[in-house]
Amino acid sequence: MDALLQAFGLVFDPFVLGVIGVSALFGMFVGAMPGLTATMATALLVPVTFFMPPVPALGAIVTATAMAIFAGDIPGAMLRMPGTPASAAYADESYAMTQKGQLNLCMGVNLVFSVAGGMIGVAVLIAFAPLLAEVAINFSSYEYFWLACLGLTCAVFMSNADPVKGFLSLFFGLLLATVGIDPAAGFPRFTFDNVDLMGGVNFVATMIGMFAVSELMRGAVSLDQDAKVVVQAVGNIFKGVGGVFRRYWLNFLRGSAIGTAIGALPGAGADIAAWISYAMSKRFSKQPEKFGTGEVEGIVDATSANNSALASAWIPALVFGIPGDSITAIVIGVLYMKGMNPGPTVFQENPQLIYAVFLIFILANIIMLPLGWAAIKSARQILRAPRNMLLPVILLFCLVGSFAMTNSLYGVVLMLAMGILGWVMEEHGIPVAPLILGLVLGEMLEQTFVQSMIKADGHWLEFFSRPIAGTLGVVTLGIWLVMLGRGFRRGPVAAPA
């Protein structure tokens, strides 16, 4: 109880509330701009939050991402261009509703169900994270080793990309994590006598390069083809939403449940949750033939799912230190930078911090309602923001942000190199997210692996000797076998557009 009061004190501080407000506006804007993703919003926020205490830093990230995931629905419905990948699953459906003259209802449903789905995800996070933490406190290096393996494998397994290329990206990320002074023996690995590399590959600069600079390079090519944006006027968006809720409350619960479950899986996030729940909605609908023609049913499922996934992705991140998606991978990086290693001990040593995160999540979902309404009303102006001036300004943010992470040009050089690498990878259908997860988890994976090897002393079965470790190990090996079988049978898999 004491910790909860402390958490209230931490969150309801004018500075923290100010940060949350500004981040909310920032998240709304980035999410609503097609081509700028929620992950990019987080990447650009990290250098700013680096200089803040933990609570406002986490508050900024939580709020900005929650807003961005909702705001991505706006251009999806108005222009058929999803603002973030998490809205891609139902952008066509939303646009079809708009063409039928139901833009108001579509926006209202998106907003209300985003808030409600987000709240369900938060409720599950609050209920289960502390319980899981009590179990996790007894984990040894074996359990952590298998958890890290499982998380990284899921990241490859759940992404739509070719598994071979997914693993390639993952191994490369893990390899990047080994650059620098080796934690066990203190030997500098892959540093080529460079002083900057001794400290390792800076994670934030890498992320800004991979998620922002490569995106700018892609955007710069098509800048001259910008279509003139014509946006319909928006009326009363809340009219009729109550009726939709009464009719499709089961869809709402199902979408939120699927979203929460997928978000809590290590390695899968909001965009996958939206795709799967939309597909489920169609599968179990009484009128599946109407999907794609502007029916609200699938949107209810999917828009609830992506916001609930966002919150539940924090469960594995906070409890085990294993990210649920690329946004929480960034969060874990931020926690490490603040000297707070995520894991079950945080729940015992700093419970007020965990409660503060919960409070911020609730707060973010509450202010989403008025802010989302304002964003929908001003969508015309937001979507008209000139992209030819936006791109250079974002580049400047990237440059200064990565400079600030190292206080030297090393960060900028690294960002540029990683931006080019990220672009080349995407061109070849190699997903970027596994690399980032590998870079974040690399040190933990290596440490738990080497510790376990030393403890097991050559006896491989020791890795399966404890009940939870054994279960996790068998599940992980099972997924590896399935993927191997798939890789042999199907050969190259065409990446979906």
Partner 1 sequence: MRLNDSLLGAILLVFAGWVWWLTTYFPSFPGQDYGPNLFPRILAAGIGLCALLLLLRGLRAGGAALVLEPWTRQPARVASFLMIPGGALAYILLSDPLGFIPTAFLLLLGLFLWFRARPVLALPVAAGMTLLVHWFFAGLMRVPLPRGLLDSVL
User: Which residue, 340 or 456, has its beta carbon nearer to partner 1?
Assistant: 456
How many residues touch partner 1 under the rule CB under 8 A: the total is 59
- Of 1 and 389, which has the nearer Cβ to partner 1? 389
CB of 226 to partner 1, least distance (A): 10
| Among 381, 407, 467, 494, interactor with partner 1 by CB under 8 A | 407
- Residue 75 vs 422, nearer CB to partner 1: 422
Considering beta carbons, is residue 136 or 213 the nearer one to partner 1? 213
Binding partner 1 (rule: CB under 8 A), the pick from 79, 216, 272, 353 is 216
Q: Which of 385, 409, 481, 482 binds partner 1 (CB under 8 A)?
A: 409
Part in contact with partner 1 (CB under 8 A); list of ranges 217-225, 283-291, 331-339, 474-482 = 217-225
48, 231, 264, 433: which one binds partner 1 (CB under 8 A): 48
Which of 3, 132, 217, 253 touches partner 1 (CB under 8 A)?
217
Q: In angstroms, rounded to a whole number, what is the distance separating the alpha carbons of residues 302 and 296?
A: 10
Exactly one of 11, 331, 412, 435 binds partner 1 (CB under 8 A); that residue is 412
List 427, 481, 485, 486, residue binding partner 1 (CB under 8 A): 427
Q: Between residue 233 and residue 292, which ones bind partner 1 under the rule CB under 8 A?
A: none
174 touching partner 1, by CB under 8 A: yes
Shortest distance in whole angstroms from residue 201 CB to partner 1: 14
Residues 367-386 that bind partner 1 (CB under 8 A): 386
List contacts with partner 1 (CB under 8 A).
48, 51, 164-165, 167-168, 171-172, 174-175, 178, 182, 184-185, 187, 189-190, 213, 216-217, 220-224, 386, 388-389, 391-393, 395-400, 403-404, 407, 409, 412-413, 415-416, 419-420, 424, 427-428, 446, 449-450, 453-454, 458, 487, 491-492
